[in-house]
Structure 1
Amino acid sequence: MENVVTDKRAENQIELEVDGHRAIAAYQLDDDTITFTHTFVPKKLEGRGVASKLIRAALDSARDRGLKVIPICPFVKAFIERHPEYQPLVKHTT
């Protein structure tokens, strides 16, 4: 899968288009914190690793930008739990 992940900042979502279908990771940006609220992958793309590629790119971008992450989206939260290299990005609230 050679598709490019694009950050559509005006729309508050990161997108990955595959075979004419668009997967998205919706977010809210507040200062140095990005909150991932929802991930959507069309049914035709399910089971192909599209969501994982999308979220990996989104988290890599957050790290590169020095952002802390709040994973409200259950998929993002589970992805971070399965990939410990992203756990330091998580913003812990008191």
Structure 2
Amino acid sequence: MATAVIDNTAESRFELSVEGETAYADYHVIGDTLYIDYVYAPDALRGTGAAGKLMQGLVDTVSDRPQKIVPICGYAAAWLKRHRL
């Protein structure tokens, strides 16, 4: 079972734990912009939709903040293009 996406500010990454495995999105912040540097899902989670759930949780969390999201990672850029207004 998946847990909620958390913002691990100490590690500068959003995390989603599923059955003992963790998918994450590394980020850095400059001013009011959150840059998504890298999205990772371990082999056990690939093809399960975990990375997409991680991205949705990230977007939901950041939508409550006065920040914009800029993807550096190709996966994040493609996901945002498919899912964002």
Q: For 2:58 and 2:65, how far apart are their aligned partners in 1?
A: 11
Q: For 2:13 and 2:84, how far apart are their aligned partners in 1?
A: 24
Determine the structure 2 residue equivalent to 1:71.
71
Q: For 1:80 and 1:12, how far apart are their aligned partners in 2?
A: 19
User: What is the TM-score when the length of structure 1 is the normalising length?
Assistant: 0.84
Runs of 4+ off more than 2 Å: none
Q: Identity rate of aligned residues, in percent?
A: 36
User: What is the TM-score when the length of structure 2 is the normalising length?
Assistant: 0.92
Q: Which amino acid aligns with 1:58?
A: L
- Partner SS for 2:10: helix
Q: Which has the higher helix share?
A: 1
Work out which of the two has the higher radius of gyration on C-alpha atoms and give 1 or 2: 1
**Matched length:** 85
Could you tell me which runs of 5 or more consecutive residues in structure 1 were left unpaired when the two chains were aligned. Answer: 86-94
Note the aligned Cα RMSD (angstroms): 1.1
Could you tell me which runs of 5 or more consecutive residues in structure 2 were left unpaired when the two chains were aligned. Answer: none
Determine the structure 2 residue equivalent to 1:29.
29
- Partner SS for 1:66: coil
Q: Which has the higher contact order (CA 8 A, sep 6+)?
A: 2
